[in-house]
Homo-oligomer: A and B are copies of this chain.
Amino acid sequence: MSGNSFGLLFCVTSFGESHGPAYGGVVDGCPPGMELSAADLQKELDRRKPGSSRHVTQRRESDTVEILSGVYQGRTTGTAIGFLVRNEDQRSKDYAAIAEKFRPGHADYTYWQKYGVRDARGGGRASARETVVRVAAGAIAKKWLKARYGLEVRGYLAQLGPITLGFKSWESTGENPFFSPDPKAVPALESFMDELRESGDSCGARVNVVASGVPVGWGEPVYGRLDADIAGAMMSINAVKGVEIGAGFAAIEQKGSEHGDEMTPAGFVSNNNGGVLGGISTGQDVTVSLALKPTSSIRLPRRTIDVRGHPTTIETTGRHDPCVGIRATPIAEAMLACVLMDHALRHRAQCADVVPPTQVHDGSKP
């Protein structure tokens, strides 16, 4: 399996560059017989689309997706699902100035060193625009998980720079351009972002993702742990620098008597484990939290070097998200959905004949 594919059984392969003709992907391993249309993918793509508010990049992309294979008469056939999203608004001239310099915080220097060549236009393959492929693939996984298990994968913005956001309701997250779970916080987010944008700087964010309805038993021991695959998938998202499952880093200061989730016949009484014990799902909510670094492309001048190693400065004037975390929620949901679907298939491959002993409920939920 090479670097542009992931998933063992529900396998996603991605291609495309920011300023090339198109992005596209191949989703292999989807069970047959599921209703699927381009609209299912489009709905999710629209959630991450650029240009949807003044707080995100103003690049104009309809992100219209075309399904090229794997669906016949409105249903999946079980064969590879190919799809394509044409790029529409490439302004490569924006990038002429940077072809000779390395933007701090970007992959410019590392790609140039690794490959000896690089497509400098908008980050080329390293652009976060690649996440269209993840979101399209995730839409397929989400649909199947919902239909087959009633499983839902939902995320929200938990922190924007210094502003932390308390969870109020899933409904709220869909009604504002920040995926804020607290509608009352939106004005504060807006003024923070307006100031930030004006300052020419950028900020980081935290995104939480929760999968509800995950059956007990998904995941494998040792290296194939569900949480290991989740961590890898999340860290593969552009700008992510940290991943937590359940209590995460707070577990460091917990005592065992506090952290270890007790059980009663009504279920687990807490969920510090984040829905995974020994790498295998417990039946509780799978809870994941991500740290996203501030956007590297900022208008403020920064020290760097050019391709000949000479010192210079750079200001990035293209169209960028001042906080990549704002559009990260659907991407993180997509990655979690893909990993869960992969493990759903892996689990039934090995354990389809297991008659599961009586299960307990998730007592950690109200």
Contacts and interface: CB of A to CB of B under 8 A. Distances in A.
Contact of A80 (B4, B281, B292, B360): B4
A113 B265 CA distance: 15
Contacts of A102: 263
A280 B79 CA distance: 13
A32 interface: yes
A252 B227 CA distance: 22
A166 to B, nearest CB: 16
Contact of A278 (B23, B111, B204, B264): B111
Interface in A79-124: 79-82, 84, 102, 104-107, 109-119, 123-124
Interface in A224-260: 224-225, 227-236, 238, 241-260
A81 to B, nearest CB: 7
B356 A78 contact: no
A31 B203 CA distance: 36
A355 B31 CA distance: 12
A298 interface: yes
Nearest to A118: B77
A253 to B, nearest CB: 6
A365 B349 CA distance: 30
Contacts of A255: 161, 201-203, 294
A309 interface: yes
A131 B217 CA distance: 22
Contact of A354 (B115, B130, B348): B115
Contacts of A1: 1, 5, 8, 11
Contact of A357 (B22, B32, B307): B307
Leading 9 A-B pairs by shortest Cβ distance: A107-B278, A3-B224, A3-B220, A232-B232, A105-B260, A15-B82, A202-B256, A231-B235, A349-B349
Interface in A345-362: 345-360
B117 A22 contact: no
Contact of A110 (B26, B256, B278): B278
27 contacts: A4-B80, A9-B346, A13-B13, A13-B26, A15-B70, A15-B81, A17-B72, A24-B26, A33-B115, A72-B124, A77-B119, A105-B256, A105-B260, A113-B216, A113-B217, A113-B280, A113-B357, A114-B217, A202-B256, A223-B236, A228-B232, A238-B278, A244-B291, A256-B297, A257-B300, A259-B294, A309-B360
